[in-house]
Chains A and B, each alone.
Chain A
């Protein structure tokens, strides 16, 4: 993928969002409501300006001959580590939904250390249990801010 195609995609996304903002503003009333500006009065112009800006960006991306645009957006070799962080992060958030944030964090940190750092088991287990444990102390006990918990915490009565 070249930078140009990413530029075009992003500009089109902006264009769509701008259009959505305009349409929704018209729906809730972009004009003058009996005696006061309607709910869509301000957002309407926001949508309008976003649309205008994105059209110009789109045209520039399409016609510009800048060599920057012809470059690849990300080098596949450099992109690999990005995905290797992004994908586990998504899985991590999904796991939070089921196991709670403490267990999920322990698994996440542990997996990261084994995969990227190739640490031994003792070190990995130590870090991946101590960090969530410290978090638990801080949030649940000191600050009394409840975080998402799962079956394991339920077992201990939290």
Chain B
């Protein structure tokens, strides 16, 4: 019950008027960010992060995490009304959400989407409340080898669970690590890969990378696809909301499955996007109306939205307890922790109780406030999208440039942002995944330092990674995931051979 007590302390922190105001601002900004193409959770938080440098860390994290919740809610609005996913994780929501809007059931679809987002997030927050302290307590025993093993596992799971080419995942990830290594090596004081260019001393900042890759890159892609915003209008009143809410309990099993998938994918760094697709696919297979999916089934909206929100929220669990973010947005928040001078990891739960529980309490409250805001303000948010793209696009580009500049007050960063934008565009087109690169860029220094410390204590022998059962298990899991593409390829080959031989 210690957790409950701590949680109440957290609520006391959140309910301070200043923090409440920040929460509402965060959510409204988040929904706007989620609605606009080119601005998403990750780069929206990255752009606003420099503005929080002077705030107390607890208030800053409340505002930034609320931007994240807002962005998760906002993605659904564009998917359903405009058939344009404002966020990658709401692509699956368009499958049934937009057909519903075309049938004139936009209100039902939106209510269903928002409510199930809320349910998914709530399940994930409850999970965080009770599981995170346990994980943190367990992780207190971790030394550098264990931490490196967990980081190794994180990166291997990108390779093992990614859908594209494992080699592209690897290349993208290694590029992130290489960029993280650029600049002054704090341990030996050596300059790495600066080639005498003093501007590179600082290294590459992941905030710039995120703003470029996800912001500029996304706008370039949007331009190529040639967007025309033709939206449906939604009538969302109390009657529609209550009517939809009456239908929802019937889909409890779908919600439960979706929440489970979401939480799992969020804690392991699968992320919200694959979670939403997986949940949609599974709901389609198990539902009685599975064959009607894609024509406007409420269940087809509930499944991906619940999973996306559950994944997005539970991605904060490994970030808080182990210092390993489960999604790009969580990675940006983690970078924020470092900037505010907090060391992510299990000690956070002991040394920064107010921060941690304030954040967790703000997740409860933020999602309730978020649900109310989106349910009442849909027409306002949809109106933003009716502002023509020729006005919105340059403003988004200007905001990105400002965001990139404010990180270090450096002009070079704006140029780098444009470069990252082009990289993001090309990578997206060639199916190089971006999240591994961002996570490697954020975690690079931490992974390197835990690797170095491990090597130091074992005098350079890799055997330290199987020196005790705990580290051996984590490391072993990592190896299995790393070679999973190879294993599944061999298994497929064997199966095909079996089929061929039985056929002949």
Name the A residues within 8 Å of B397 (CB-CB): 85, 89, 92, 108
Residues of B within 8 A of A (CB): 50-51, 165, 167-168, 170-171, 174-175, 177-178, 181, 185, 187-188, 190-193, 216, 219-220, 223-226, 388-391, 393-395, 397-398, 401-402, 405-406, 409, 411, 414-415, 418, 421-422, 425-426, 429-430, 432, 448, 451-452, 455-456, 460
CB-based contact B224/A42 at 8 Å = no
Contact residues of A: prevailing secondary structure: helix
A125 at interface (Cβ–Cβ under 8 A)? no
CB-based contact B226/A78 at 8 Å = yes
| Docked CA distance A75–B154 (Å) | 37
The smallest C-beta distance from A91 to any residue of chain B, in angstroms, reads 11
Given A39-B187, A39-B190, A131–B175 Cβ distance below 8 Å? Answer: no
CB-based contact B430/A3 at 8 Å = yes
The smallest C-beta distance from B63 to any residue of chain A, in angstroms, reads 13
Taking a contact as CB atoms closer than 8 A, the residue among A21, A42, A85, A108 that contacts B223 in the complex is A85
* Chain B proximity mask over A97-139: 1 for CB below 8 Å, otherwise 0: 1000100010011001101110100000001000110010001
The smallest C-beta distance from B4 to any residue of chain A, in angstroms, reads 37
A sample of 16 inter-chain contacts (CB < 8 A) reads: A28-B188, A28-B190, A29-B190, A43-B181, A46-B178, A60-B167, A85-B220, A85-B393, A86-B418, A92-B397, A101-B401, A112-B391, A112-B393, A115-B390, A132-B398, A135-B402
CB-based contact B219/A50 at 8 Å = no
Instruction: List the A residue with the shortest CB-CB distance to B185.
Output: A39
Contact residues of B: prevailing secondary structure: helix
CB-based contact B192/A39 at 8 Å = yes
| Docked CA distance A28–B187 (Å) | 13
CB-based contact B418/A117 at 8 Å = no
Name the A residues within 8 Å of B409 (CB-CB): 146
CB-based contact A17/B175 at 8 Å = yes
Residues of A1-30 contacting chain B, CB below 8 A: 3, 6-7, 10-11, 14, 17-18, 20-21, 24-25, 28-29
A154 at interface (Cβ–Cβ under 8 A)? no
CB-based contact B190/A47 at 8 Å = no
CB-based contact A97/B411 at 8 Å = yes
